[in-house]
Amino acid sequence: MTSEDLKKLISASINTHKIQVYSPDNKHFDVIIVSETFSEMKTIERQRKIYSIINGDILSGKIHAITLKTYDLVEWVKNENL
The stretch 35-57 carries a mean pLDDT of: 96
Question: Can you identify the CATH homologous superfamily of domain 3-78?
Answer: BolA-like (3.30.300.90)
The mean predicted confidence, pLDDT, of the chain is: 94
Instruction: Say yes or no to pLDDT of 81 above 90.
Output: no
What pLDDT was estimated at residue 80? Answer: 73
* Mean pLDDT, residues 36-62: 96
Contacts of 66 (CB under 8 A, 6+ apart): 28, 29, 30, 31, 54, 58
